Each structure stands twice: as structure tokens, then as C-alpha cells.
Amino acid sequence: HQSNPSAWSTSRTSSRLVATNASAPAERQRASARSCTAVSLLDAIGRSIVDTGTRLEAISEGERAEKVVFVIITDGQENASREFTHAKVMASIKHQSEKYAREFVFLGANQDAIQVGAAIGLKAGNSMTYAANAMGTADAFDSTSKNLVSMRCGVPSMLYSQYDRYSLPSSG
């Protein structure tokens, strides 16, 4: 079963964690009208970047999150985006990373997440493949959570370690 990706942006404002999902109700309705295997991954990422930027612009600079991390999670491969292309998403990620020091992480189930992440401009260390089962998902989320905690304690990026990669159950 493949579903639409959840492109979540997570940020800290004061001591509050904020998470938003790019797959808004209108997108879910459009997606349900398409095949159940349609994945608008690029559209979800692109809209998440735009929506997060709009939300942050509306907040005074002193109240904005110090760090914004986009965690992109999917169990399907891009095959249905209509608004955003690989080049447009890659340019947006590059701009957000360079201008605003935003971090991007890609978790892909049962696929080469490093290759898919590279296609949108992510460093190999910021992408991880996981098994699309309860254990694989829990381990991937645990690794991501630990990386977020480390960032809050001063580690400069969300790079996954070799331990994270090899401790996850095989997807095959």
C-alpha cells in the first residue's frame, strides 16, 4: 500500500515544538480522486516549504523558531506531482538551506532514499531508507527523534550515523 507522503516541518519557537503537515485536507481530497498508488511527493515538499515560509514571515523575527527542520517521509515514489518539479524543489531546498540554515531530512521506505534525496538536493547523510513495517518505522522515527534532540543540544546538522543506517531492519 502506498500513500501520499507526509512532509512535516518541525520547528521550535521558544520552548514549543511546532509540526505542520503539507498534506492539507484539499490535497487529500485531490489525492483520493487519483489512484491509490499516486504519490505527489514533490508537490507535498514544495507546498510545505512555501507554507512554512509564509507562516514564519507572519511571526516577528524575535518570536521565530531558531531552527527549522523539514522531515520528509514517504512510502512511495514520485509519480503524480503537477505543480513542483525536481529542479524547482531542489532550488527551493538549496535556497532554504543556504539563506535560512534550514535542515532537510528524507526517510524513504523500501527504496533507495539516498538516491531519491540526492535528486532533490539532499546530502546522503540526511537521507535514510527504512523498512515499511512497524519495527522499521519505529526505528527510523527513533533515529530522527534522537537527531532532533542532538540538534537542540548544539549538534549542527541532522546527519544519520552509520549506526542508524545499519541498526534498522532490512527492507528486503
Integer angstrom CA distances of residue 16 from 76, 134, 157, 159:
31, 28, 20, 23
Amino acid identity at 147: N
The distance in angstroms from the start CA to the end CA of the chain is: 16
> Tens digit of pLDDT for each residue in 52-110?
999 999 999 899 888 899 999 998 888 889 999 999 999 999 999 999 999 999 999 98
> Tens digit of pLDDT for each residue in 120-159?
999 999 999 999 999 999 999 999 999 999 998 988 889 9
Which residues have a Cβ under 8 Å from the Cβ of 124 and sit 6 or more positions away? 114, 117, 118
pLDDT value, residue 78: 85
pLDDT value, residue 116: 94
Cα separation, 48 vs 108, in Å, equals: 17
Cα separation, 21 vs 7, in Å, equals: 6
The C-alpha cell at 111 is 527504496
pLDDT value, residue 98: 95
pLDDT value, residue 169: 57
Beta bridge partners of 127: 106
pLDDT value, residue 99: 94
Residue 132 burial (10 A CB sphere; 0-12, 13-18, 19+): middle
> Tens digit of pLDDT for each residue in 8-63?
444 333 333 344 444 444 454 444 444 456 779 999 999 999 999 999 999 998 99
Higher pLDDT, 119 or 172: 119
Do residues 45 and 7 touch, judged by C-beta distance below 8 A? yes
- 10 Å Cβ neighbour count for 148? 20
